[in-house]
Amino acid sequence: MKSFTFRDENGKFYYGWWIVLAAAIFCGLVYSGIVSVTGVFLMPVTQSLGLPVAGYSFYITIMSLTQIITLLTISKHFNEKNMKKIMIIAGCVGIISFIGFAMAKSLMWFYIFAVPQGFCFGAFTMTPCQILVSNWFGEKARGRAMSIFLAIMSIITVILMNVLNFVILSRGWRVGYIILAACVAVCVLIALKVVVWSPAQKGIQRVGDLEESELAAMQQGTASGIGFAAALKKPITWLAFISCTLAVIVSGSILQHGIATMVIGGISQTKATALISTMSLIMIVTGPIIGIICDKFKLSVAAVGTSLFFAMAVFGLAYTGTAGWGIPVFMIGYMFGVPAINIISPLMMSHMYGEKDLSRLIGYVNVFIGIGGAIGATAVGVLYQTFGAYHIPWLIMTGVLVLVAVIRGICTSSKRKYTEFNEKSL
């Protein structure tokens, strides 16, 4: 098989691209509906119900903690037999959570329905989608497949964010949550039709494998790599996990507080939403660029580079409203930096440990991403109330991302790359 193609060995459209499209729809509507568009709701909800910013943000912590428990409990069941069943159940639970939000009369409603939302977030969105895309694309195509998945997701997120902003301003935030419930319902129907565990179930070869034997090993359940238990015994594994937590502490904070920062800086909510949308649209190009760098060059270049760009973005956000260069720096840095979360994080695991237990390792990556999500939005909300402004909190987050760049440079070095020849030395 060619390392990158849109057709299978029979000349038909490669089914893996339908998996990529489905994953993009799931994450564009459900993942983004849970975390990426929360900033659109923050000010309307808190002002309507008279809620404190930190108190409202705390539901994100509850949701993220539930996601963590979900992944720790069921990630080992993400397999050929159970994947579709788990995703369908999680999607149905997600519908209930958004309906609950739409009916909210106090903080307690958000706290209660954050629990089923966390289950949906863990069992229906990024973790299973990353596993499915990884299953359908080998090492030579996985980075680009991931980036295309995230690029399409970005388009959907932009549309969703602007639709929600219009609806919330014209019809109210409760209608916005009902729309998100309907989005999850659509995704459940797509999952019923499209989700397939791997090329083996379709009887076709996998795009992007280094050689035929890699596919045979995958089909027989003997893919090369370091086992999950052995990987967890290595300190470098935990360092990689920690980098995921630190990166998402920052990204989660931006998703929840980025628009609010701009509004306080003198930008209208509609314009702030438009700026975020513009960045997401441009990421349709920047995401695949990062994917190509991952596939064609060293993963370490992309891993360190995206973290530093992300740090630049947050530094710019710290000066929004006080310096004219704040917003441009934020936008440029964010467009090239945010792939650090969902492109680089899972690729670190295949780089370091091969494919033997890749699905379980990706599950743990997302556990630590969940920890970051649990801390970030609430922590920055508390820091904002402590300092009375977002300037210092964002400078702190800049330093966090510089540390992430250092950690990821170590984890993605040539010395850390898994091969059957250097397995004993890792």
Q: What is the pLDDT along the chain (426 residues), one digit of tens a residue?
A: 556 677 777 888 999 999 999 999 999 999 989 987 877 888 899 989 998 877 888 898 899 889 889 988 887 788 888 999 999 999 999 999 999 999 999 999 999 999 999 999 999 998 899 889 988 988 778 878 888 898 898 889 888 988 998 899 899 999 999 999 999 999 999 999 999 998 888 888 888 775 555 445 545 545 577 888 888 899 999 999 999 999 989 987 887 788 888 988 888 877 887 887 777 777 777 877 887 888 777 888 999 999 999 999 999 999 987 888 999 999 999 989 988 887 788 888 888 888 777 778 888 887 888 788 778 767 787 888 888 888 999 999 999 999 999 999 999 988 888 765 455 544
Tell me which residue of 389, 396, 261, 280 sits closest to 327, measured CA to CA.
261
pTM of full prediction above 0.75: no
pLDDT at 2: 57
Tokens 């502490």, residue? 249
Topology, domain 15-425: Growth Hormone; Chain: A; (1.20.1250)
**Is the CB of residue 99 less than 8 Å from the CB of residue 119?**
no
pLDDT at 426: 47
- The DSSP bridge partners found for residue 277 are none
What's the CA gap between 124 and 94, in Å, rounded? 9
**Is the CB of residue 389 less than 8 Å from the CB of residue 313?**
no
Sign of CA dihedral 286, 290, 292, 296: positive
Q: What tokens were used for 145?
A: 């497949």
What's the CA gap between 403 and 399, in Å, rounded? 7
What's the CA gap between 422 and 416, in Å, rounded? 9
pLDDT at 237: 92
CB-facing half-sphere around the CA of 24: CA atoms within 13 A: 21
pLDDT at 185: 97
Q: Is 168 helix (H, G, I), strand (E, B) or coil?
A: helix
Q: Is 297 helix (H, G, I), strand (E, B) or coil?
A: coil
Q: What tokens were used for 52?
A: 């404190």
- Domain limits of the chain? 15-425
What's the CA gap between 28 and 151, in Å, rounded? 10
